[in-house]
Amino acid sequence: MLDLKKLQNDFDGVAAKLKNKKLDEALLKDLSEIFTLLKKEKTLLEELQAFQNKFSKELANAENKEELKQKLSENKTKISTQNQKVKEFEERLESLAFKIPNIPDDDVVVGEDEDANLELKRVLTPPSFDFEPREHFELGEKLEWLDFVRGVKIAQSRFCVLKEEGALLNRALINYMIDFNRSRGFKLVNVPFLVNENAMFGTGQLPKFKDDMYKVEEEDLYLISTSEIALTNLFNDEILSAENLPLKMTAYSACFRKEAGSAGRDTRGIIRQHQFEKVELVSITSPKQSQSVFNEMCECASDLLSSLGLAHRWVMLCTGDLGFSAAKTIDLEVWLPGQNKYREISSISNCRDFQARRAKIRYKNEQGKNELVHTLNGSSLAVGRTLVAIMENYQDKDGKIAIPDVLRKYF
């Protein structure tokens, strides 16, 4: 959630940054109007309180004691009424603030959409082929690894069944990713795939992305769209010890998204599914640790791709392409020969104290005061997309798929 104190101290500066993040102009206008009205009502309240404080002290020695006592009584009633007004405006401001995205970091490139994203570097060289490389869905159907027809039959479009070596490779990737992340100091956590509304609110999925979530009828439960939700909210409304930070976690989960608004995008294959799997990285840090842990998470996901022999690049998202809760995001995009382009396979974000404010996650700082933690999350990696990348990068002209050396023991 947006820091309302920061908004009050520098409304124009914060508003300018939010405009760069493509905040709806009408929402920003509403925010400005409520903020202005709240300021006015607070000023009136402060004037009434100042009157009460000043003349309460003078009451004992006042010549017109009864008259002043009457005025103070009337003023006290006005204070009570004005307090209620201020409270109502604060609640309206807070309710609106829940819909406002995080403020981008100062070093994030200003841009309208993904075309303005900044490539930072490339890692490894894409393979060359003496034949026309196929896309993963062609390879998957030929090898009978991917069964789209039966996936649709038992569910609907954007569902797929993995079979035989395809299913084995998928499982091998999950186990390898977990082992790799644990070797980098991320502790394995097994979380529920269903969470309550409070958890969804804590990480920013609600109310903004309600239409993209699967909800269990007549229950306060939602299917998670990422294990970031469950991992971060493990510490919802808690005060952590500074000596225990940073907390670095990894988790496997199935993920569920309605993919609202994605009609016509990636309709073939398993790039964009309603149900998919991810191995996630989540860190809870102090503000001082935040940037170094962010770099560590980016390196971990990148090194994981390199260990699989997959060429990829680092891309910093511009302000207009940043996610709702993110202050800064670096995407890792893997090379897909079948598509002849790089595609996102991991997204690592630093949310600063935005989620912590919503989820009330704090720690005792050096001065012994409660301070908001910083929360970070990243895919390490999207399992289905890694499967796609291996199929396309390790194919031969006969349509067979070689297995990266690091995965062989998992078979």
Please report, in range form, the residues annotated as the binding site: 226-228, 257-259, 280, 344-347, 379
Contact 375, 356 (CB under 8 A): yes
Contact 215, 199 (CB under 8 A): no
292 part of the active site: no
What is the DSSP secondary structure assignment for residue 401, as one 8-state letter? B
Please provide the size of the chain in residues. Answer: 411
265 part of the active site: no
Of 134, 257, 357, 358, catalytic: 257
CA distances to 27, 163, 298, 322, 324 from 22, rounded to whole Å, are 11, 42, 26, 9, 10
272 part of the active site: yes
257 part of the active site: yes
> H-type helices in 184-322, by residue range?
197-202, 227-233, 290-307
CA dihedral 103, 107, 113, 116 (to 10 degrees): 170
CA atoms within 13 A on the CB side of 36: 7
CA distances to 61, 216, 255, 373, 393 from 278, rounded to whole Å, are 74, 21, 7, 25, 20
Of 134, 352, 358, 385, catalytic: 385
Extract the runs of DSSP E, i.e. beta strands, from 116-257: 118-123, 146-147, 161-162, 187-188, 194-195, 214-215, 222-223, 239-241, 247-256
Q: Which residues are annotated as a binding site for ATP?
A: 257-259, 344-347
357 part of the active site: no
Of 90, 141, 344, 371, catalytic: 344
Of 286, 325, 347, 380, catalytic: 347
* C-alpha dihedral sign at 64, 67, 73, 78: negative
Of 92, 171, 184, 272, catalytic: 272
User: Which residues are identified as catalytic?
Assistant: 257, 272, 344, 347, 385
